[in-house]
């Protein structure tokens, strides 16, 4: 499923951006540039929100993909079954 792989890639990119923003925020704090530190803090918060949304979507798509595969296997098994009934005891 291409959508799932695209979302996973977007998630990795967002996580990397978050790490960078936190790093820049800390560097700005160290240099006592509070205005820029606040800017990077805001950007990091926005990335965290994006990450949460993407993770939810990845989880939903992964679950749907698993359920769809399960349905396909069940349909195949029911169509190709040689089972004709329970043996009598």
pTM strictly above 0.85:
no
Q: What is the pLDDT of residues 13-53, one digit of tens each?
A: 999 999 999 999 999 999 999 999 999 999 999 999 999 99
Separation in Å, CA 33 to CA 11, 13, 47: 29, 26, 21
pLDDT of residue 82: 63
- 68: DSSP letter: H
Stronger pLDDT, 39 or 73, i.e. the higher one: 39
């Amino acid at each position: 499923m291409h959508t799932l792989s695209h979302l996973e890639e977007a998630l990795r990119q967002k996580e990397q951006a978050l790490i960078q923003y936190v790093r820049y925020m800390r560097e700005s704090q160290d240099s006592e540039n509070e205005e820029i530190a606040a800017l990077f803090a805001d950007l990091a918060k926005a990335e965290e929100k994006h990450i949460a949304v993407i993770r939810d979507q990845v989880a939903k798509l992964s679950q749907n993909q698993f359920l769809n595969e399960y349905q396909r296997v069940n349909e195949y098994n029911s169509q190709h079954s040689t089972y004709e009934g329970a043996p009598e005891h």
